[in-house]
A and B are shown apart, each in its own frame.
Chain A
Amino acid sequence: MKSAGLRFVELLSSMRFAISLLTLVSIASVVGTVLKQNEPFANYLNQFGPFWFRVFELAGLYSVYNAPWFIAIMAFLVLSTSVCIWRNAPGMLRQMSTFRENMRESSMRAMPHHAAFASALPAADALARAEGYLRSQGYVFRRAPEGALLAAKAGSANRIGYLLTHTAIVAICVGGLLDSNVPMQLKLAFGDKKPVDGGVLLSEVPATARLDADNLSFRGNTLIPEGSSSSVTVLSMGEGILVQELPFTLSLKKFHIEHYSTGQPKLFASDVIVTDRDTGKSFESRIEVNKPLIHRGIAVYQASFDDGGTRVKLSGHHLLAPQAKALAYESRIGEASELKYDGQTYRLELSTFRPINVENLSAVEGAGQGAAGKEDKDARGLFGRIRSQMGSGSEGVTKRELRNVGPSYTYKLRDAAGQAREYHNYQMPVLLEGRFVLLSGMRETPAEPFRYMRLPLDEKLELDEFLRLRAGLLDAGRRAEIARRFAKTAASNDAVSQTMRERLAESAERTLETFALRGYQAVAEFLERAVPEGEREAAAEIYLRVLQGAAWEAWQAMRAKDGLPALESSPERSRFVQDGLNAVSDSFFYGVPVYLKLDTFEEVKASVFQMTRSPGRNIVYLGCALLILGVFSMLYIRERRAWLLAGDGEAVFAMQCNRKTLDFEREFERHRDSLARLLGSG
């Protein structure tokens, strides 16, 4: 009867156990690949709903490789492999060094690869010749103490392969565990340190959440704005954080970002000054992606970048209150301020600023054009299509028009109830379908895409004329007069009776009034109520024409009020009025109807560094080297054994290989024939 302990050790070191563990590891890796790891919890909550979110959280799926069960599996894998090595290595080494010179003739003749041939030599000479031959073939050998048996072997290193690969697995896992956050978890479980909530200011982090500079292994992130410095790095522990003191202070002089003409990033680099906290000595350095800085055992990587608090000046244009003046605001990216509008107070949270946006404008430039291009492409037939793809790899058939459309900025407006809408605006005018517009996007939840409103720009590329048009459209006090002027110009012919003109004015006034309620949607609803279905389309056409004409008059009226001359009508100006109507109509659905225009900015960038101290690294490197050596010796070295028994007038030759490939067949035949010739020729 085996003892329970022995049986446990046997189970632990069994192949079956190891394979079960490896299966679990691979399942975990699949989860780690399919599910994006270490995202903010809110994203997962959104994705899975409250129930599954909780289940997955308990299973540790948001950070699989740090989940206790995963670490436990790794620990068992290390244990299992170590026990396996410990139990098998001595036997393997012994086997490697034996020659098996106690082989019996009957066993040799039972081997699949054996041959008997005539020998013309006395046994001693035959063995000596065979030795010379086998040596030339890379074999080592030994003679049996008695009798005429020669035992030879080659490729014993094959077995070392097993040992090397298994040791490599242990080394890689141990090194990996050392550099994982396991040591940190242990410290938290048995020490007096405790993470704090992520929201606090760095200066307010209590001592219990601060780790000394001599901490052995960690991995943290540090954000440093240009012109600032930091001597700590932040380790994230689930929802909380720990602050790790560094033995040096890192100051960011400048962060560089360069782009290719296609808008893809080309270079991220940080010019930094490192000041040692012990010696006070400092030096300058540059950190790039793939070129970390290594100082006092800590590697500093360029991980990402961010805004470091760009200063912006904004002007707020009220889109629905016609007479309101633009208001000026000053703020910084990452800060919140108050915005008062219409008696309400909103919290303005400026979240991002991007100085460069390269966009593919050909996708926007008139959908009709794109469709025509596609037809054209197909019309040329198969050979035409193939021909169009021949040539250099520099560009495709569909032309892409990449253009830098300038800075963009994102902000949230949060009302008193905490409801927030997010806005994404471009600072510079963008040329779309031949006209310059300002783009402003809005969305109600982060899950939606932004819906963009296009604010048309006037001939001076300013918003002024649009704001005038909008004021005219929405000003109830002027509506009657505008309608009258519209009726007068639209029906200037004397033949038109006064009553006709009055009716036209009346309907223009009503159209303006309806439009001022909720744009086109209000007009459509009105038509639905007032006009029978069959006539609606025709009526809509007339209403739109009236609206367009009245809008023109509204615009001119506002210009006159500001002491500006009336404009000659032209197709471009009609398009402008049309675009203006669209924008005003959209602005009813803009949430908080304030357009925040970016007037000037002063950019401050920030660099995000990843800082690691990973003493397990060298163990992992060693493990990798062992793994490569081991894999190659297992795959490419074949262990072969050969025996030659010289008898009276006959010799028996036999071979064995741990892997019966065709190469081995051929080798056996070669040795058999060569030896038969050598021994047979006397």
Chain B
Amino acid sequence: MELAHPQSAAPQPTPGEPASLLKRLGWFDWLYAAVLALGAAYALQRFGAFMDVYEKAILVCSVPTFVWMGWAWKPFRALLLGAFALSLFSIWLYRGELARADQAFLLKYLISSQSAILWMCALYFAATATYWVGLLSRSAFALSTGTGLTWSATLMGLVGLLTRWYESYLIGPDVGHIPVSNLYEVFVLFSLITALLYLHYERRYATRQMGAFVLLVISAAIGFLLWYTFEREAHQIQPLVPALQSWWMKIHVPANFVGYGAFALAAMVAFAYLLAARGILASRLPSLEVLDDVMYKSIAVGFAFFTVATILGALWAGPRACAARCWPGGRWSACWSPPSPSWA
């Protein structure tokens, strides 16, 4: 049937309807995109000889991914640029010598990988406490301080991982690898991803009260991380065994941990939901609809990423595949338990 097109109904953005993403970009968005693109181009030109075609593809694809993330979620731009700047500063301070970690003051106490990660731990703990104070005392100031602390912790964690990546190459060019290869590293990654997902929802739903709950699970991860560092000394950078020397790891592991982060977030929001549904803290928490919506969204994210990650893992393993790798007791866990030769 014929459809008429009256002039007045021509598609034009009506108030209340968001304009398309591209039209809303400002100069900082373009600067951000340019920095990422130039950075990747420099890395390709300078280190391309050491990468295989898949690694180059991952690097190239990561540029539009991060550009899109930053454009869609503005605070992410500052975080990423800040983390890159601090990590480059840290690399500059190293001047190619690992021993400088104990000599340069800023490295020793702030931005060498272990120091930055310890700062991350402290800041996440502080953020948890602040969110709770804010929640219980209905203090908007405390809550926004919590947000600030969470952002800073995330920044320090990111700097820690990026610097750790560089340090691994200082130990030996053959030892160097992306820091997602053992339990210690992925726990840092887990904390960062959970925090980022939370910060995203916090802004999107304009409510900070869920932070008290989400930061609890991050604190639990941090507790484990500290125990693992101080009691087990598991933070030492280990070289990659042959099974892990593959570009698959760069996508398989982060994808898994986006999944874990999203599920952990959903679980904590669900906990808040159950409390609120029984009237506990109900007046202090966002409405049940909001909690439900956040839960639904983050489970969706988790489900999607887990599907992709598991499939990637299975393809990677090829015919060696067998089920249930994701449990700590599974066969793959062999790759992240610290080596323990023993005779005496």
- State the A residues within 8 Å of B (CB): 29-30, 32-34, 37, 65, 125, 128-133, 135-136, 143, 179, 219, 260-268, 288-290, 292, 299, 301, 303, 357-360, 363-364, 385-386, 389-398, 439, 441, 450, 452, 610, 612, 614, 621, 624, 627-628, 631-632, 635-636, 659, 661-663, 670, 673-674, 677-678, 681
Contacts and interface: CB of A to CB of B under 8 A. Distances in A.
Interface in B3-33: 3-6, 8-11, 14, 16-17
A32 B331 CA distance: 10
A363 B174 CA distance: 27
Interface stretch (B140-148, B214-222, B227-235): B227-235
Main SS of the interface on chain A?
mixed
A33 B242 contact: no
Nearest to A624: B311
Top 7 A-B residue pairs of the complex, sorted by shortest distance between their CB atoms: A136-B11, A132-B9, A396-B233, A392-B101, A289-B242, A129-B9, A391-B101
Contact of B311 (A303, A364, A397, A628): A628
B243 A290 contact: yes
A265 B241 contact: yes
Contact of B11 (A132, A357, A677): A132
Contacts of A673: 16
Contact of A135 (B11, B115, B239): B11
B80 interface: no
24 contacts: A29-B324, A33-B329, A129-B9, A131-B4, A290-B243, A303-B320, A360-B341, A360-B342, A390-B109, A390-B114, A390-B118, A391-B108, A392-B112, A392-B114, A392-B167, A393-B236, A394-B237, A628-B308, A631-B303, A635-B303, A636-B304, A661-B296, A662-B289, A663-B293
Nearest to A33: B324
A167 to B, nearest CB: 15
A30 B324 contact: yes
B304 A301 contact: no
Given A392-B114, A393-B113, A678-B8, A262 B339 contact: yes
Contacts of A263: 339, 341
Given A129-B6, A129-B8, A264 B330 contact: no
Nearest to A132: B9
Nearest to A31: B324
Contacts of B1: 143
Given A129-B8, A390-B114, A391-B112, A219 B236 contact: no
B307 A265 contact: no
B323 interface: yes
Nearest to B243: A289
A128 B10 CA distance: 11
Contacts of A261: 172
Given A631-B303, A631-B307, A635-B304, A262 B319 contact: no
Contacts of B152: none
B329 A394 contact: no
Interface in B67-86: none
Contacts of B9: 128-133, 678
A89 to B, nearest CB: 22
A177 to B, nearest CB: 14
A681 B1 CA distance: 26
A264 B318 contact: no
Contacts of B238: 262, 264
Contact of B229 (A130, A265, A288, A389): A389
B245 interface: yes
Contacts of A661: 293, 296-297
Contacts of A135: 11
A631 B304 contact: yes
Nearest to B184: A393
B44 interface: no
Interface in B40-99: 98
Given A260-B175, A265-B242, A450-B343, A390 B108 contact: yes
Interface of B: 1, 3-6, 8-11, 14, 16-17, 98, 101-102, 107-109, 112-115, 118, 164, 167-168, 170-172, 174-175, 229-230, 233, 235-239, 241-243, 245-246, 248, 289-290, 293, 296-297, 300, 303-304, 307-308, 311, 314-315, 318-320, 322-324, 327, 329-330, 339, 341-344
Given A30-B327, A389-B235, A393-B168, 13 more contacts: A29-B323, A128-B9, A129-B8, A219-B319, A260-B174, A299-B318, A364-B343, A390-B115, A392-B167, A394-B98, A394-B236, A452-B344, A631-B303
A160 B239 CA distance: 45
A23 to B, nearest CB: 14
A673 B17 CA distance: 10
Given A29-B324, A627-B307, A391 B102 contact: yes
A77 to B, nearest CB: 14
A624 B315 contact: yes
A65 B323 CA distance: 9
B290 to A, nearest CB: 7
A630 to B, nearest CB: 9
A292 B318 contact: yes
Contacts of B246: 290
A674 B304 contact: no
A160 B175 CA distance: 46
Contacts of A129: 6, 8-9
Contacts of B343: 359, 364, 439, 441, 450, 452
A389 B311 CA distance: 37
B239 A262 contact: yes
B324 A398 contact: no
A130 B235 CA distance: 62
B14 A674 contact: yes
A267 B319 contact: no
A416 to B, nearest CB: 31
Most buried by A among B171, B230, B344: B344
Contacts of A450: 343
A670 B241 CA distance: 55
B300 A635 contact: yes
A363 B245 CA distance: 30
A78 to B, nearest CB: 16
B278 to A, nearest CB: 22
B311 A627 contact: yes
Nearest to B18: A670
Which of B114, B242, B245 has most chain A Cβ within 10 Å? B242
B342 to A, nearest CB: 7
Nearest to B13: A136
Contact of B319 (A289, A299, A391): A299
B322 A37 contact: yes
A627 B9 CA distance: 40
Nearest to B236: A396
Given A266-B242, A662-B289, A393 B235 contact: yes
Contacts of B341: 263, 357-360
A504 to B, nearest CB: 38
Nearest to B14: A674
Contacts of A268: 242
Contacts of A132: 5-6, 9-11
B112 to A, nearest CB: 5
Contact of B318 (A265, A301, A358, A624): A301
Q: Which of B10, B319, B329 has the most CB of A within 10 A?
A: B319
B320 A301 contact: yes
Nearest to A357: B341
Contacts of B17: 670, 674
Given A264-B339, A359-B343, A636-B300, A389 B118 contact: yes
Looking at B5, B248, B318, the one whose CB has the most chain A CB atoms below 10 A away is B318
Contacts of A37: 322
Contacts of A29: 323-324
Nearest to A614: B319
B98 A392 contact: yes
A264 B315 CA distance: 25
A635 to B, nearest CB: 4
